[in-house]
Structure 1
Amino acid sequence: MTTAVSFQNVSRHFGPVRAVDDVTLTIAPGEFFAMLGPSGSGKTTCLRLIAGFEQPTSGHIEIFGETAEGLPPYRRNVNTVFQDYALFPHMTILENVGYGLMVKGVPRAARQKKALDALDLVELKGFDARRPSQLSGGQRQRVALARALVNEPKVLLLDEPLGALDLKLREQMQVELKTLQRNLGITFVFVTHDQGEALSMADRVAIFNQGRIVQVGAPQEIYERPRTRFVADFVGSSNVLPPDFVAGTGGPARWVSLRPEKIAIAAGAAKPPAGSHGVTAKVTSVHYQGAITRVNTEASGQELAVSAPSSLAGLDIGATVSLSWPLSALHAMEDEA
């Protein structure tokens, strides 16, 4: 079966720095695949290896069955949308979108029609005569998308394209990007350090750390069943609990992940309900977040964060609270960090 993108033991070194270190992965045709990790984890270098802006130090890359190493960017059937959009300020929106077609020698009438169709696809019909400076950040991002899509790539690469947008617009564009990808049916490879973006849009997520992939899976799998302490801590907010503390509350003597929303909290000291495990704790800080309040607590030297309904009373700093959780809420992880 043909894969959209295949990495086989790929490394990219810059002197002594292993930016990408023996990465193996496959991305399916039509998949929305996210590469998630902190700065310097190797995700953007992997994207540049797919685009052809970097060449591997070792290993093998294929794009729809074709060997990619040594192939220049213009010979690859991929396009990239960058965070800064890289639009030409002196050109109209129509000229920006049709620029790649002009470079390929597509006749003027044909490229204008394709550029107008691409603008319609990203809901910018009627904006063709404007210049980038006359558009909002979200509109410029759509122009960059249209410019990439007009070339009909088999793989669209997105390098943190929503990073420059405000929160509300970013959330709106997440929905629109996923809908667009589903309607077009082409492969999207999306690089981000924002776990919310990755979880909300991707079919599968690869978690990067120190040049390596530490876990690949569906968003729910990554969130609910992190393989390592790094994944649990990086993807969403989790309580990463050591074996001795877990064993002391009746759980397995293992490193576990316990998500804050799975902890029940009540004012005062009380035994856990039947079938649950728990501790008595002190409230150390309270952070109102609208519908929920994040309550940080401490029990026997262990910090535990809890997501509590904002309507719950008795959660003042210094207050004694009871925390409880079902055994099923504890996810045991590998011993490695």
Structure 2
Amino acid sequence: MPVSDPAPTTPAVRFAGVTRHFGAVKAVDGVDLSIAPGEFFAMLGPSGSGKTTCLRLIAGFEQPDAGRIEIFGESVERLPPYRRAVNTVFQDYALFPHLSVGDNVAYGLRVRGVGRAERDRLAREALTMVKLTGLEARRPAQLSGGQRQRVALARALVVRPKVLLLDEPLGALDLKLREEMQGELKSLQRALGLSFVFVTHDQSEALSMADRVAVFNEGRIVQVGPPEEVYERPATRFVAQFVGSANVLGAAQALALGGAERPSSLRPEKILLLSPGAQVPEAAVLIEGIVEDVSYQGPVRRVVVRSAAGLLLVAAVPASASNVAAGHAVRLAIPRAALQPMESEG
């Protein structure tokens, strides 16, 4: 049965206790998940964490061993990929080299039996949407990597899916083009009002584009929430260290720095490097120590400091602090509010 029109409050995608095993490996381990209509949702995690398998389960390329998958309220575990209201943009684009750009974009319409004139018209509209007007006659080999990525996007959108799945689509692009495409993808998603489900291992991509981020590890979702919440209030050591970088403190260490007696995270950029004679800010704790290492990272310098009590802290200080060097004695101020208690240290 095809997916019906959704009710306004029906999730675009819902997982209920979904599990997928490959032999003894639990690729997806009891995942519960709800993605809202019109939401840009990122699945973030390292290789082998389960995020791509979840995407393939939504697409229908994999079937769950247990649990339920719904797309706009309809159970889809038994539906083949072509009968689901989704489409996928792959990391390698999967374009047909022998077809023109226009025919690549129109391929899905051709499979659905749409007439030549209509599918050419719709393909032109889709190419205009991704800013490739006039390139219908070219072959994929005549395009840049960024243009091929746009063709793949147009091909996925031309069949008008209700959910667009993106499997690390920017991974093959250079940094500058990747950053440009991040903004364009987000603008396109807002204009179309579609649910985008974006898989990535790049935390900067997830934080910059997504409305919500699900962080995966070992087949499970360990935290889900808006990007700012996931970054500022990581639930576990894994989230704190995978999404950006963090000083992870034990309960006793956090208490000594003025925080709660619980495992806590402390982002390096929250630590203040005090100039000689400067007052310690109110609601902050002073730490004195010796610099063990300094590395220049563009806008900031990464400074590793060992306190008199033996605590090793990493601070991200402005790059203008060029007089900091290994062996220097420094004073650090740690705002108590910067200490974020975690659900667990694991």
Per the normalisation by structure 2, the TM-score is: 0.94
Q: Secondary structure at the match of 1:226?
A: coil
Quote the offset at 1:270 in angstroms.
7.8
| Structure 1 residue 327 displacement after superposition | 0.8
Q: 1:326, 1:55 → 2: CA distance?
A: 48
Aligned to 1:96: 104
Deviation at 1:98, TM superposition (A): 0.5
After superposition, residues 151-300 of structure 1 pair within 5 angstroms as 151-266=159-274, 272-299=280-307, 300=309
- Secondary structure class of the residue paired with 2:274: strand
Task: Output the CA distance in 2 between the equivalents of 1:108 and 1:327.
Answer: 66
In the comparison of the two structures, how many residue pairs are matched?
Answer: 337
Q: Which of 300, 315, 319 pairs up with 2:324?
A: 315
For 1:250 and 1:185, locate their aligned partners in 2 and report how far apart those are by CA, in whole Å: 45
CA contact (8 A) 1:267 1:315 kept: no
Deviations 1:23-58 (A, max 9, x none): 011101110000011111100000000000000000
Match of 2:3 in 1: none
Report percent identity of matched pairs: 64
Residue in structure 1 matching 2:39, options 31, 55, 64:
31
Is residue 63 of structure 2 the alignment partner of residue 55 of structure 1? Answer: yes
Local SS of the residue matching 1:142: helix
Report which stretch shifted further, 20-29 or 268-277.
Answer: 268-277
Q: 2:29 aligns with which of 17, 21, 36?
A: 21
Tell me, yes or no, if the aligned pair for 1:268 and 1:320 is still in contact at 8 Å.
no
1:76: which partner in 2? 84
Equivalent of 2:72, from 64, 70, 73?
64
Conserved? CA contact 2:231–2:240, under 8 Å: yes
What do residues 202-250 of structure 1 show as CA deviations (whole Å, max 9, x unaligned)? 0011111110111110001111111111111111111111122222233
Q: What is the SS of the residue equivalent to 2:343?
A: coil
In 2, Cα distance between the equivalents of 1:169 and 1:284?
36
What's the CA shift for 1:269?
9.1
Equivalent position amino acid for 1:174 in 2: Q
Change (3 A) 1:14 1:60: same
- Given candidates 118, 124, 128, the residue that maps to 1:110 is 118
Q: Give the root-mean-square deviation of aligned CA atoms.
A: 1.4
Which shifted more, 209-218 or 305-314? 305-314
Stretches of structure 1 that go unaligned for 5 or more consecutive residues are none
What SS is found at the alignment partner of 1:30? Answer: coil
* 8 Å CA contact 1:271, 1:322 repeated in 2: no
Deviation by residue 1:274-318 (Cα, 9 ceiling, x = unmatched): 431131122222221222222222223332111111112431112
Segments of structure 2 that go 5 or more residues without pairing to the other structure are: 1-8
Native 8 Å contact 2:257 2:336 kept in 1? no
Counterpart Cα distance in 1 of 2:228 and 2:47: 23
Q: Do the aligned partners of 1:260 and 1:306 also contact (CA within 8 Å) in 2?
A: yes
Q: What amino acid sits opposite 1:323 in the alignment?
A: L
TM-score (norm 1): 0.97
Counterpart residue number, 2:146: 138
Tell me, in whole angstroms, the C-alpha distance in 2 between the residues paired with 1:334 and 1:278.
Answer: 26
Give the whole-Å Cα distance in 2 for the aligned partners of 1:51 and 1:269: 61
Deviates more, 1:258-267 or 1:153-162: 258-267
Q: What amino acid is aligned across from residue 117 of structure 1 in structure 2?
A: E
Distance in 1 between the 2:302 and 2:184 partners? 30
- Structure 1 stretches (4+) deviating beyond 4 angstroms? 267-271
Q: Which residue of 1 aligns with 2:95?
A: 87
SS in 2 for 1:97: helix
Question: Greater shift after overlay, 307-316 or 103-112?
Answer: 307-316
Q: Give the Å deviation of 1:336.
A: 4.3
In the alignment, residue 324 of structure 2 is paired with which amino acid? L
Equivalent-residue separation in structure 2 for 1:265 and 1:69 (angstroms): 55
1:325 to 305, 313, 334: 334
Deviations, residues 140-177 of structure 1 (Å, cap 9, x unaligned): 10000000000000000000000111111111100000
